[in-house]
């Protein structure tokens, strides 16, 4: 792994401090504060108050930890709970991991470039940066999912995190992460850098649930590096209103026989501006990427669903699919699929469709005894049904349950 000096990283970040993102609207970071009072850590997760428990449940956190192998919770830029329940995997605040393992710093800014834009630069230039470090040890399999929550509870706050996730050789890691705000917080900024590293024959399943407020600006930056025979599965779910959200993770399938699967379920509400997508660089022989998006547009929401697959190696296979459902004349959904065949022996396909609920579907369901509202809800529920064929049975059931909770949650 190429090592870059800390001074070089800092200077590179300084040079990019005013660099706008290549897509999406620009955010004035200076409008947000990072000042936060000190507080105590949670001793027992099950002892949290009912209000906080409801918020955690909305983003997939089980406060009883019955079927979880570890938990990480960050409030603002302060870690309030971190616990590992299995010796096969380690969960630490990133600051603790950097002190404990000198090699962790070598993983910084390899999957995500420090000068990608002003938001990555901000993460490098932020003092006392937090985030989580998760490491599935070599051969670790059959463990319960880990869970994490990045939570904002201060009006006008800027949360900046840098996460490092490593699945060692022949290991399997399941991670459920939720990002959300307190019900009384409206204006907030979340900048999250996440770097995933999958070693030979490893697998990571990553389920991300976003539940924001009407004035939240969200800018995650995610990169995935995959070695030979590894598999990365991503399930992204957003069912809440948000001011603006921009997420476009990129997977580098470097090894032969690698796989990446991205699934996004998006419910645009009110005046939300949501720009989501995924990218895959198929650099290994027989590498494969599949990207599936299900988007619903209501009220005056604007949703852009992107996808990019680049086939650089022999027998690489890529497929993009976006289905959109418009429920309001003032909503808008744009589908932007891109496929690029560099190597002559690749297979690349894409399909997209955006429409409205057909009147005959409503009438048919009403003829079976449902009223109009019930018929619409049933159609919408079916549209948001997740493809869980890539998941173990237990995690597939859990994912569908999280989708149902997120779609009905009220912050």
Domain boundaries, the chain: 6-15+44-355
Cα gap 292→263, rounded to integer Å: 5
CB atoms within 10 A of CB 308: 20
Asked if the model's pLDDT at residue 314 lies above 90, the reply is yes
Computed over every residue of the chain, the mean pLDDT equals 89
Asked if the model's pLDDT at residue 157 lies above 90, the reply is yes
Output b/e per residue, 241-250; b: 16+ Cβ within 10 A.
bbbbbbbbbb
State the pLDDT at residue 396: 64
Residue 223 in contact with residue 111, Cβ under 8 Å? yes
pTM: 0.92
**Tokens 């159609």 sit at which residue?**
379
Report the pLDDT averaged over residues 229-250: 94
Percent of the chain at pLDDT > 70 equals 92
Question: What is the widest separation between alpha-carbon atoms in the chain?
Answer: 69
Asked if the model's pLDDT at residue 4 lies above 70, the reply is no
Pick the range with the lowest mean pLDDT from 137-141, 248-252, 385-389: 385-389
pLDDT digits (tens, 9 = 90+) for 172-227: 999 999 999 998 898 999 999 999 999 999 999 999 999 999 999 999 999 999 99
State the pLDDT at residue 392: 55
State the pLDDT at residue 57: 84
| Cross-strand bridge partners of residue 158 | 189
Asked if the model's pLDDT at residue 397 lies above 70, the reply is no
Report the pLDDT averaged over residues 76-84: 93
Residue 274 in contact with residue 245, Cβ under 8 Å? yes
Cα gap 165→189, rounded to integer Å: 23
Report the pLDDT averaged over residues 51-78: 89
pLDDT band at 386 (very low <50, low <70, confident <90, very high): low
Report residue 360 as tokens: 């005959």
Asked if the model's pLDDT at residue 1 lies above 80, the reply is no
pLDDT digits (tens, 9 = 90+) for 294-310: 999 999 999 999 999 99
Asked if the model's pLDDT at residue 404 lies above 70, the reply is no
- For residues 36 and 244, the model is more confident at 244
- For residues 378 and 64, the model is more confident at 64
Report residue 234 as tokens: 């991503």
**Tokens 């999250």 sit at which residue?**
192
State the pLDDT at residue 383: 72
State the pLDDT at residue 372: 80
Q: Sign of the C-alpha dihedral, residues 68, 194, 204, 179?
A: positive
Report the pLDDT averaged over residues 312-340: 94
Cα gap 42→72, rounded to integer Å: 11
pLDDT digits (tens, 9 = 90+) for 342-360: 999 999 999 988 888 777 7
Residue 1 in contact with residue 109, Cβ under 8 Å? no
Which of 43-57, 276-290, 389-403 has the highest average model confidence (pLDDT)? 276-290
pLDDT digits (tens, 9 = 90+) for 82-113: 999 999 999 999 999 999 999 999 999 999 99
**Tokens 């009147």 sit at which residue?**
359
CB atoms within 10 A of CB 400: 15
Per DSSP (E only), the strands in 23-116 are 70-75, 78-84, 89-93
pLDDT band at 363 (very low <50, low <70, confident <90, very high): confident
Report the pLDDT averaged over residues 108-131: 94
State the pLDDT at residue 229: 98
State the pLDDT at residue 411: 41
pLDDT digits (tens, 9 = 90+) for 243-279: 999 999 999 999 999 999 999 999 999 999 999 999 9
């Amino acid at each position: 792994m190429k090592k870059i000096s800390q001074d070089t990283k800092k200077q590179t970040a300084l040079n990019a401090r005013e660099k706008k993102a290549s897509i999406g609207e620009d955010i004035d970071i200076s409008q947000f504060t990072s000042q936060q009072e000190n507080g105590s850590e949670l001793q027992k997760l099950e002892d949290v108050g009912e209000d906080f428990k409801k918020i955690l449940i909305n983003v997939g956190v089980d406060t009883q930890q019955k079927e979880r192998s570890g938990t990480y919770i960050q409030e603002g830029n302060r870690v309030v709970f971190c616990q590992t329940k299995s010796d096969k995997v380690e969960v630490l605040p990133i600051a603790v991991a950097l002190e404990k393992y000198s090699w962790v710093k070598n993983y910084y800014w390899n999957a995500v470039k420090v000068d990608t834009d002003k938001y990555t630069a901000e993460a490098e230039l932020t003092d006392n940066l937090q985030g989580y470090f998760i490491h599935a040890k070599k051969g670790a399999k059959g463990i319960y999912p880990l869970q994490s929550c990045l939570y904002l509870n201060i009006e006008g706050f800027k949360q900046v995190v840098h996460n490092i996730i490593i699945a060692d050789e022949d290991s399997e890691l399941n991670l459920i992460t939720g990002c959300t705000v307190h019900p009384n917080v409206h204006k907030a900024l979340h900048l999250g850098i996440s770097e995933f590293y999958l070693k030979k024959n490893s697998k990571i399943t990553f389920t991300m649930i976003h539940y924001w407020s009407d004035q939240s600006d969200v800018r995650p930056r995610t990169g995935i590096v995959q070695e030979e025979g590894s598999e990365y599965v991503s399930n992204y779910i957003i069912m809440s209103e948000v001011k603006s959200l921009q997420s476009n993770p990129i997977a580098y399938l470097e090894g032969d026989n690698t796989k990446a699967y991205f699934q996004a379920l998006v419910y645009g509400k009110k005046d939300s501006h949501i720009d989501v997508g995924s990218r895959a660089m198929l650099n290994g022989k027989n590498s494969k990427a599949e990207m599936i998006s299900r988007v619903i547009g209501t009220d005056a929401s604007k949703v852009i669903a992107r996808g990019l697959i680049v086939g650089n190696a022999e027998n690489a296979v890529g497929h993009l699919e976006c289905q959109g459902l418009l429920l309001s004349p003032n909503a808008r959904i744009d589908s932007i699929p891109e496929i690029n065949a560099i190597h002559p022996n690749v297979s690349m396909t894409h399909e997209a469709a955006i429409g409205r609920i057909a009147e005959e579907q409503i009438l048919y369901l009403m003829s079976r005894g449902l009223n109009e509202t019930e018929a619409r809800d049933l159609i919408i529920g079916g549209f948001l049904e997740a493809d869980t064929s890539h998941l173990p049975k237990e995690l597939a059931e859990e994912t569908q349950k999280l989708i149902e909770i997120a779609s009905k949650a009220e912050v």
